Structure 1
């Protein structure tokens, strides 16, 4: 039986206010549980325009209608408008996710700052960002987070060390094919990684005849490939929770209609035999449809 775990990345203030409630209603209708990972600090989405000279960034912007999906106001946060602090202003929405029975965790504190800089930052910088996110999560939910999924699939070795020390059950920071214990620059934490296995909407739409109307067929076809621990599909509150909500519904219909299991990433974790998980290096690679280099599951190590 096919198993697909849903990981919802919530990147922005608008995505929290509008996309998250829409997804909650949809998931309730289809009786599925998901993992919601929240950006907890200021929304500085507008600062992402610094990426304009990164190879592939402008092409992605044109393909995925960034302005219409995110809204012009969001694209001014941190540039022409002050960025609202998401955790302080939208904590009630975040709590409603946990109250509905979904898994909640940390995505980041400042999404743009993490995605653009963490790969080359030191331990002090990394810990500060993660501690700020963890403290805000504690304030919002009243308990510590048990999972983290790195914004933009960007990390460094200090991230992995912090995840183990923070006592997280698991993390979902990378792209890959199966659950594993990570190894990076001499760091070998006992916090397993459960990677994203499927492509995202913004990586597919606008390529090779793929449109908003048929993109669900491509994702569903990819999800039919058998993997050791099933699949993880990363969706975004700003896309599947807003203008592409109908795409998410089509995927749920297909996955559930063919006797598939749709679950939270934590449910995948609960099914793992942790004693037999392999170790894999984390490396850096490129994926078609996405700009820059991402953290990826690499070779197995003894």
Structure 2
């Protein structure tokens, strides 16, 4: 059966409180599996204001109505308002998602801090951030994490290595075409297998080439009309598909089911793979259409 894995990034306190419950409800209605990746520490969304100087950021903001999706209060957390501790405040809600049958994993400790700085930080900084997230996840769920999906698709080489040290089974930290085993510059295996996101996100599409919240699902469904050998991975956000774009997501779910896809968690998709047969690839930092800045991209296959 064709599979399409749903990977849900939960970036903010508001997205956790308001978006996650609505996503759980709609996924249950469609009998769809999914993986929820939680931000587990402080919500410092307001500190993203410095991205205004990044090329392409203002055009993306104007297309995707950031204030409408995130709300004024969220955009002040970490600046004029203290950042609420998401994992501490919403532990019961997070556990309920797991109890409802969905896979849960780590998105990050502090979303803005990871997304804006990890690519240029050293192993000690990276370990400290990941340890906080792992500790909080274990406190909330009573078990260690098994998967990770990087905030903003931002990583460094130390982060890949630490994922194996922390006992993860696999991760979904970047963008690419198929599952792969990351390798370092010397061609040695690095970290755990990766299931990259294979499809563009709504905020990368809406506002370009006549795409709106009302028709963007048709564009995505055209991309999935032909099945992928290893299945697709679609990343959605609790702050978008779980709130203002819930109706768009509903149309996507119905469309994918009509195309014959089984909608699954990334864990279920990973379980169907043989890690020994995965291509071995370097991870490169590069740009993609519709998103400002660089992010982790699957590179060419490296010969054994």
Normalised by the size of structure 2, how large is the TM-score? 0.97
Any conservation in 2 of the 1:239–1:245 contact (CA below 8 Å)? Answer: yes
3-state SS in 1 of match to 2:210: coil
Farther-moved stretch of structure 1 (217-226 vs 68-77)? 217-226
Report the counterpart of residue 9 of structure 1 in structure 2.
9
Displacement, 1:185? Answer: 4.0
* Change in 2 beyond 3 A, CA 1:45/1:139: same
Report the counterpart of residue 235 of structure 1 in structure 2.
236
Any conservation in 2 of the 1:2–1:224 contact (CA below 8 Å)? Answer: no
Counterparts of 1:86-235 in structure 2 under 5 Å?
86-186=86-186, 188-189=189-190, 191-235=192-236
Alpha-carbon distance between aligned partners in 2 of 1:105 and 1:294, rounded to the nearest angstrom: 20
Report the counterpart of residue 280 of structure 1 in structure 2.
281
Alpha-carbon distance between aligned partners in 1 of 2:269 and 2:261, rounded to the nearest angstrom: 14
Counterparts of 1:73-84 in structure 2 under 5 Å?
73-84=73-84
Alpha-carbon distance between aligned partners in 2 of 1:108 and 1:239, rounded to the nearest angstrom: 18
Farther-moved stretch of structure 1 (221-230 vs 282-291)? 221-230
3-state SS in 2 of match to 1:146: coil
Report the counterpart of residue 260 of structure 2 in structure 1.
259
Displacement, 1:240? Answer: 0.2
3-state SS in 1 of match to 2:73: helix
Any conservation in 2 of the 1:182–1:279 contact (CA below 8 Å)? Answer: yes
Flag as ranges the 4+ runs of structure 1 deviating above 3 A. 184-187
Any conservation in 2 of the 1:108–1:114 contact (CA below 8 Å)? Answer: yes
Displacement, 1:217? Answer: 0.7
Alpha-carbon distance between aligned partners in 2 of 1:235 and 1:75, rounded to the nearest angstrom: 20
Displacement, 1:88? Answer: 0.3
3-state SS in 2 of match to 1:171: coil
Displacement, 1:278? Answer: 1.3
Farther-moved stretch of structure 1 (1-10 vs 59-68)? 1-10
Root-mean-square deviation (CA, aligned residues, Å) is 1.0
Displacement, 1:2? Answer: 3.1
Displacement, 1:190? Answer: 5.0
Displacement, 1:258? Answer: 2.5
Any conservation in 2 of the 1:157–1:185 contact (CA below 8 Å)? Answer: no
Structure 1, unaligned runs of 5 or more: none
Q: Deviations over 1:126-174 (max 9, x none)?
A: 0000000000001111110000000000000000110011111100001
Structure 2, unaligned runs of 5 or more: none
Q: Deviations over 1:184-240 (max 9, x none)?
A: 344622510000000000000000100110011111111224323110000000000
Any conservation in 2 of the 1:4–1:223 contact (CA below 8 Å)? Answer: no
Q: Deviations over 1:94-137 (max 9, x none)?
A: 11110000000000000000000000100000000000000000
